Each structure stands twice: as structure tokens, then as C-alpha cells.
Amino acid sequence: QRRRLLPVARHLGRDHDRTNSRLMAPPLALGRAATARRRLSGIAFLLVIAALIGLTVAIYQKAFTPVVNVTLEADRAGNQLSAPADVKLRGLIVGEVRQITSTGGGAMLDLALDPEQMELIPANVQAQLVPKTLFGEKYVSLVIPEDPAGERLAEGDVIGMDRSETARETEQALNNLLPLLQTLRPQDVSVTLNAVSGALRGRGNRLGENLVLVDDYLKGINPSVPALGENFRGLADLADTLDQASPDLLEVLDNLSFVNRSLVEQEQALSTFLTSTTGVAGETDRFLRDNESRLVTLAADSRPVLETFARYAPQFPCLAQGLAASNGFIGDAFGGLQPGLHITLELVDARPGFRPGQDEPAYKEDRGPDCVDLPNPEGQEPDVNLQDGFNDANGPDDSSTPEEASPSLPAPGLRANSLPMSQREVMGSVLGPVMGVPADEVPDLAYLLFGPMARGTQVGLS
């Protein structure tokens, strides 16, 4: 017993024969009871430790915290969202994500919200899955619509995702950015961010001023955005036109390359030509020097002529158009389907001879440009009496009273078919046997030629 740290119950080698056994228990029974007590104490200690661990876990998981459970239906959760992610409303934490369950086509998120914050959340609230930082995990951001409902979010309600255009564009931008970030090496990104941080350090005020200046520029550009959009649409039309014309443009460029090759091949001839132009320039210089005064005189003398041309310039287009239109009439008169001269012969007054003192040339005509029904004349030729001093038999006298027309001549404009029927019958009976045709088939030209001859008058062609 002395060499043992603790006394051990065992037989001491002495017998106890007293009849009163109640004063001391048997040594073997005492050892079994102590062992049982120690085992029970160990089990109780383990149970206390397990209870403390379970209580700690329950407290960490907020099992004893009163919450309002709602469900969020999401298209997908992604790898960056896991429980217990935060649930925020305008930056304020109002709950957490308790569980994420896959539904095959999407995900169901069990949200535990703070009851004290429920009065801030309308029933028609929507949610977005937003990353905390560019490389960080995601959290649930509750978005209040522009027209929030009067009712508040309650236990068991279901929240939908924000499907506005802005939310979709933001999510698409982040999704497109993720593959880029995955391909970048962390050390390179760290170096770049450190360089950007060093460049921006101490320049916050200047950066803010630049942002304000950019904002002013954008405000000034905003009124011109519609016109800018129209210009871009015009640029798109131009691009389409260039695309359609690209074969022709490529052909032009190919031809240009051929021209360039030709110039290279004819370099010597081109050099000789350019050298010869030096002599031409010298001859031109000598010519201009020798005729300097004559050129000045020519320019001065040409001024009145050019002024006259300028005055009557409006008449030139209609004159050219009239000449072009007359080509058809000339073709009809001198050929066409029936070769020969096709004219209408009329009897006119004989032009009187020159009369001294009355038909002296004069230059009194000073009328302005006049197309005189050109290029589409109508009816007879207009009767234009030029103020040239000559007495026209068919027009008014420029200087004196014209002589009376011979009474034996028909009036101007008389045609063969305008003769009286008695004269046509008489001349037809005379001309018919001579020409070998019936009297009623004598051509009109024969009446016109034979009538004046029979009456002793003259025949004029106009």
C-alpha cells in the first residue's frame, strides 16, 4: 500500500468473524460501486460537452433567434452564393440565406428575415443576386419597385427575381466578366490593381473634378443624341452602300495598281516627258511676255462681246433645244419613208425692191432675250419685225407706209385647196388631159404652179 499512489481495496489477509456485518461493507462491493460511479460521471461529462457543442452550433445557426421564413425563386444560384449569405435591403442586412435547393431548372432559396425589419419590406419586393466585390461571393439584394405595395412581406411568401432591363444587363455583364477573370493570373491582377491604386492615391479631388467635367460634357451632348443616332444610321446606310460597291471599288484599286505598274515601267518615258515640259514652259513664258499687251487688249475688247453673250445667255438653252427638236422635222421634210422634198407651197406677196431713203440699214434693235415659243413652237411662225430699217412686206414699215399689195395676187397664207371650186374645175379640166389623169385627181401642186402662170403673176416659195 505504501508504494501505491492510491489505495486499492484488497484482502488484507485477516478474517473478520464478527456477527454484526452492518458496520462495514464487504470490500468487493465497495470497488464495484466506485467503478460504476466513475463511469456514470464520465458519461455525464461527455453528455454535457455534447450539449454545450450542440448549443453553440444552435446559437451560431441562430436556432433560437425569431425569424420570418420566405422563399426566393431564382433562375440559378451559382457557385458564389452559399448559406449563410447575407440578405440586404438598400445596403442594410435584414436576414440571411438558410438553405439552397436545386429544382432542376432553377434554385429555391430559403431566406430568414429579421422580424424587426419586415415593416420596411413591401409584399411585391424583388431580388437580385449581386457579388459583394468583383472577386467576392454573392448576396441577395432586395429591390423595392417604383410602386411598392401597401402590404408588407409575411411568413411563407415567395419572392421573384428582378427581371428589369437594368438587372438583366448587370447580370449579363458580370457573367461575361467571370470567364475573363478566370483566365487572368492572380499575381498579374494584383500588380495591376496595385499600380492603379498607386496612380489614384492622392488624386481624388482632381478625379472628382474630371468626373464633374465629363458630366457637363455629357449633359451638353444629350440634346444632340437623336441627331447623332441619325448620323450613325446614315453611316450604316453608307456602309451598306460601300459593301454593295465593294466589287467595283476593288476593281478600281486593281486598275490603279495596274496604272502604277505602268508608270513604273514607263518611268524613263515619263521622266523624258516631264523634262520636255520645261522647254514648253519656257516657250509659253516667252509667248506670254511677247504678247502681254495684246492679251490685255484682247481681254478688254472681248468684254462687250462677252457682256452681250451674258445678256442673251437665257436664250441659248431654248435655241439649242429647238435645233435638237427640228432634227425630226428636217428628216421628215427631206426623206424619211418617202425620199424627196415634202413641203407646203404657199403664194405670198412679192418682196418689193430696195427703196432709197426707206430701206436704209439701221441698228435700232435692242430687245432682250426671247425664245419665241422655242423649243416647242405652236402654229405659224411668229411675225417678228426686226428694227433693222428694212420694210418687210409682211410686217409693219420701219420707216414709211408700205405699198399696197397687188390685187391680182391671193392673200398670204392662201393654199391650193382654198381656191374657189369653179377655178379648180377649170384648171383641172385643162391640166388633167396634159398630165394624163382625171380632172379630180390633179395634184394640188399643179394648181399652185399653173394658176399664177395662167394669170400672169409670180410664184414665190416660202
Q: Picking from 94-103, 372-381, 429-438, which range would have the lowest pLDDT averaged per residue?
A: 372-381
What CA–CA distance (Å, rounded) separates 78 from 80?
6
Residues facing 140 on adjacent strands: 87, 129
Report the 3 state secondary structure along 16-66: CCCCCHHHCCCHHHHHHHHHHHHHHHHHHHHHHHHHHHHHHHHHHCCCCCC
Q: Is the dihedral of CA 19, 22, 24, 27 positive or negative?
A: positive
Scan for cell 395634184, then name that residue.
443
Q: Binning pLDDT at 50, 70 and 90, where does residue 404 land?
A: very low
Helix (H) or strand (E) holding 92: strand 92-102
Residue 296: predicted pLDDT:
92
pLDDT at 227 over 80: yes
Q: Cα 56 vs. chain centroid, distance in angstroms?
A: 67
Q: What is the pLDDT of residues 266-282, one digit of tens each?
A: 888 888 888 888 888 98
Helix (H) or strand (E) holding 141: strand 138-143
With contact defined as beta carbons under 8 Å apart, do 439 and 425 qualify? yes
Residue 400: predicted pLDDT:
44
Output 19 or 149, whichever has higher pLDDT.
Answer: 149
Q: Of the segments 81-90, 213-222, 374-383, 396-405, which one has the largest average pLDDT value?
A: 213-222
pLDDT at 388 over 60: yes
Q: Picking from 156-170, 183-197, 314-328, 332-346, which range would have the lowest pLDDT averaged per residue?
A: 332-346
| % the chain with pLDDT above 90 | 11
Residue 298: predicted pLDDT:
92
Q: What is the DSSP letter of 364?
A: -
H helix and E strand count, the chain: 10, 7
With contact defined as beta carbons under 8 Å apart, do 350 and 458 qualify? yes
The cell for 334 is 427631206
**Mean pLDDT of the region 293-308:** 92
Q: What is the pLDDT of residues 317-334, one digit of tens each?
A: 888 888 888 877 777 777
Output 25 or 71, whichever has higher pLDDT.
Answer: 71
Output 408 or 51, whichever has higher pLDDT.
Answer: 51
Beta strand 107-113 with 158-161: parallel, antiparallel or unpaired?
A: unpaired
pLDDT at 414 over 50: no
Q: Picking from 11-25, 187-201, 218-232, 319-333, which range would have the lowest pLDDT averaged per residue?
A: 11-25
Q: Using a CB cutoff of 8 Å and minimum separation of 24, what contacts does 315-318 make? A: 315/369, 315/370, 315/371, 318/371, 318/374, 318/375
Q: What is the DSSP letter of 404?
A: P
Residue 212: predicted pLDDT:
92
Residue 458: predicted pLDDT:
43
pLDDT at 77 over 90: no
Output 171 or 203, whichever has higher pLDDT.
Answer: 203
Q: What is the DSSP letter of 362?
A: -
The whole-chain average pLDDT of the chain stands at: 78
What CA–CA distance (Å, rounded) separates 10 from 27?
7
Give the Å distances, CA to CA, from 446 to 341, 410, 429, 457: 16, 16, 12, 15
pLDDT at 354 over 80: no
Give the Å distances, CA to CA, from 295 to 265, 281, 291: 42, 18, 6
Q: Binning pLDDT at 50, 70 and 90, where does residue 412 land?
A: very low
Residue 403: predicted pLDDT:
40
What CA–CA distance (Å, rounded) separates 449 from 345?
9
Q: What is the DSSP letter of 266?
A: T
Output 442 or 5, whichever has higher pLDDT.
Answer: 442
Residue 408: predicted pLDDT:
34
With contact defined as beta carbons under 8 Å apart, do 128 and 167 qualify? yes
Q: Binning pLDDT at 50, 70 and 90, where does residue 138 land?
A: confident
Residues facing 1 on adjacent strands: none
The model carries a pTM of 0.34
Scan for cell 407646203, then name that residue.
344
Question: Which amino acid does the sequence have at 146?
Answer: E
**Mean pLDDT of the region 338-367:** 73
Q: Cα 285 vs. chain centroid, distance in angstroms?
A: 54
